[in-house]
Structure 1
């Protein structure tokens, strides 16, 4: 906005008009005009009237001057905005008069790295997965105006302080803040015999997986979203954040709650939503409790909850076996993959220890895994349960078939049943590494995997635009785009079926350090 100065005569008149003539002089001239001799009382009366009229005139004049000032500022602002809009060469600083969106809050997005040696976190898979995850978070945030989101983000990696230092350092180069953590509890500290002796066998990482609980301690942010690294955000989640942060009876809060797609829409949401979660229904054994799906959790950080979790683990009240009395607390929270660690524990915690504080989200829309949640086949179902064949594993009628959910309805995708996008899985069979037709729909999997590769292609375009399309950058990127295997799905990023056919993004570390600022910040 240009500076505007009201002409000095407006202000000087307000404060000096009464000094142009003294009261005695004014009374003298008045008597001369009337041709009468004034007594002292008459003169006093006239002087009082003079002061009243003079004050009224001055007040009117000052108000008129202020009105002119407001009009001047208005027209100056309009003129300045017009000049800016018509000047195509205006620098960034010249756009300061344009409204700048302010984020409602900055959300923490965290992943956990427990070790660097498995197939999910090998070098190409780790770096490319982290890059695409970050790019998807960016594209669904306020930093991308077309997203419509009101929320900013900051990235964290909770890294095992012994087993994951090396691979975590590569994520620091692309904008993740590294939080080195040791497991919050050792197996030797667990009092319950079964859990103490068997936790080390649990998928994927035994007691080491409990480093995910440190997400509750990232208290610099009002909300923490923790996901696995094989994850991609497809649409903003403002409705979840708004419902957490705004009162339930406010306009924003009520609208947000109406837009949340819950697994049980008729269930009343808590006044204070502390967490959102999804359940691993495709693992449910008939008559048993559904485990938590550990690849996606949205929480209000709270060290008290973190400490309560550790106390439960230390007590170790976990009963082995597959009956209705097994698992955590002897209440059926067990018997499935991950039940001794981060699949079974959070389900038990939020159902039993801290009930009525969460919202269970529709697992076809949030944390979408393209999974079969009907009693039809593996896992954990055999045909002798003839009365259950074809029924929903969450024991309701008409549940949504996640293998066929319209992509336009999906908020985010967790690449599990459809395999990791960097595994280049393009075959449907029951062989290891292929897409299992018993648990997933091949065509639908190809659609969701294509979304990941499209996100990678978008990032590659941004890289070229940001680096000026120089020969070095273009050449390195091209190395990862020449694959000819199923190009309609993998978009040049795969040369053959299987992880050996994946062509990673080939930019150097220095390039990524530079690009983190140019593309995302």
Structure 2
């Protein structure tokens, strides 16, 4: 609630970023103490390879937060990279959540200075999740409670401030379609890396569709970035009820980009294939 924030300046800043105060919904993961760890992902993220080792490492080392930095959103004079809010491996802890919220209520956030003049948090989304987590785990919590991952391999995004060209796509564990745009919107992209990541997304989607007995949609962008079809934005998702289950006895999803095979229960797929999108993006009759 904005009225709980004690300074007008902070009340203004927390309404920025992608989602304003709604971004703080991610902190609800700290309340889910029936689990050892919670992985919070943005909806435009994709896990490409098995990341069980991150959970195991977090538990073994007693880490409260495992995350990736976001060099694209860091101010030039920043004392620390902001946390990228689309990939957060959290150990539930009610006390930490309350401490984070109390920092926001205090409202000590300044343009250029970030949280408590620490030079952490000034930038896009810095007044909520991205800057606050970076500040808390760099200045409040013991350093041993958090670990920042290699953002060329985890939660990979296109950034012009850091060169990830030395890390091949088959070394990437997860990606986040931000600057690269969403594969399903069929927008042309100029980056070879984005072309490759879009191809991974289409591979995974096609494998899932085949596992559910559906004809895969043709790709709207080829591997050279040339537009083949217009967006499917208004086509209802056909696989909304599909979800991975290691106990399923049929329906194997295998991607050449993945080092694991995920079972998809066919009983939870939508059995009836809907028509493909017409050139205008709407289903054909």
The question of a shared fold, defined as TM-score above 0.5 by the shorter chain, is answered with: yes
Per-residue Cα deviation, 1:13-66 (whole angstroms, up to 9, x for no partner): xxxxxxxxxxxxxxxxxxxxxxxxxxxxxxxxxxxxxxxxxxxxxxxxxxxxxx
1:116 corresponds in structure 2 to none
Cα distance in 2 for residues equivalent to 1:514 and 1:281: 33
Instruction: Check 1:197–1:348 CA distance in 2 against 1; reply closer, same or farther (3 A cut).
Output: same
CA distance in 1, matches of 2:224, 2:203: 9
Match of 2:238 in 1: 507
Match of 1:349 among 132, 136, 142: 136
Over 3 Å counting, the alpha-carbon distance change for 1:316 and 1:504 in structure 2 is: same
| The structure with more radius of gyration | 1
Change (3 A) 1:489 1:301: farther
2:77 pairs with 1:287 = yes
Contact preservation (8 Å) 1:276, 1:359: yes
Q: 1:508 to 1:274 in 2, by over 3 A?
A: closer
Mapped contact 2:156–2:176 kept (Cα < 8 A)? yes
Q: CA deviation at 1:424?
A: 1.2
CA offsets per residue over residues 417-468 of structure 1, 9 Å max, x none?
Answer: 211111212243xxxxxxxxxxxxx11110011100100000011011xxxx
Corresponding residue of 2:283? none
2:268 paired residue number: none
Q: Which residue of 2 aligns with 1:187?
A: 2
1:413: which partner in 2?
175
Counterpart in the other structure of 1:69? none
Which residue of the partner structure matches residue 57 of structure 2?
A: 243
1:454 paired with 2:203, answer yes
- 2:23 is matched with which residue: 209, 213, 223? 209
Instruction: Tell me how far apart the structure 1 counterparts of residues 36 and 152 of structure 2 sit (CA, whole Å).
Output: 26
C-alpha contact 2:69 2:83 (8 A) present in aligned 1: yes
Which residue in 1 is equivalent to 2:282? none
Q: 1:371, 1:403 within 8 Å by CA — same for their partners in 2? A: no
Instruction: Provide the C-alpha distance between the structure 1 equivalents of 2:244 and 2:92, rounded to a whole number of angstroms.
Output: 30
Give the 5 Å matches for 1:148-163.
none
Secondary structure of 2:46's partner?
Answer: strand
1:117-516 → structure 2 map (5 Å cutoff): 186-200=1-15, 202-246=16-60, 271-289=61-79, 290-319=81-110, 321-322=111-112, 326-356=113-143, 357-374=145-162, 401-428=163-190, 442-464=191-213, 474=214, 477=215, 481-482=217-218, 485-488=220-223, 495-496=229-230, 500=231, 504=235, 507=238, 512=241
Give the alignment's Cα RMSD to 1 decimal: 2.8
The TM-score, its normalising length taken from structure 1, stands at: 0.44
Q: 1:310 to 1:458 in 2, by over 3 A?
A: same
Q: Deviations over 1:47-93 (max 9, x none)?
A: xxxxxxxxxxxxxxxxxxxxxxxxxxxxxxxxxxxxxxxxxxxxxxx
Structure 2 stretches lacking a partner, 5+ long: 252-263, 266-285
Q: Answer whether contact 2:37 2:90 (CA < 8 A) is retained.
A: yes
Gaps of 5+ in 1: 1-185, 247-270, 375-400, 429-441, 465-473
Distance 1:514 1:413 in 2: 19
What is the distance in 1 between the residues matched to 2:90 and 2:82? 18
State how far apart, in whole Å, the 1-side matches of 2:48 and 2:32 are: 24
Alpha-carbon distance change, 352 to 456 in structure 1, aligned in 2, over 3 angstroms: same
Instruction: Sort the Cα spacing of 1:306 and 1:488 in 2 relative to 1 into closer, same or farther, 3 A.
Output: same
Q: Is the 8 A contact 1:463 1:515 kept in 2?
A: no
Quote the residue 1:432 is aligned against.
none
* Cα contact 2:69–2:148 (8 A) shared by 1: yes
Alpha-carbon shift at residue 189 of structure 1 (Å) = 0.7
RCO greater where, 1 or 2, for CA within 8 Å and sep 6 or more?
A: 2
Q: Count how many residue pairs are aligned between Structure 1 and Structure 2.
A: 248
More helix per residue: 1
| 3-state DSSP of counterpart to 2:76 | coil
- SS of the residue 1:294 aligns to: strand
TM-score (norm 2): 0.78
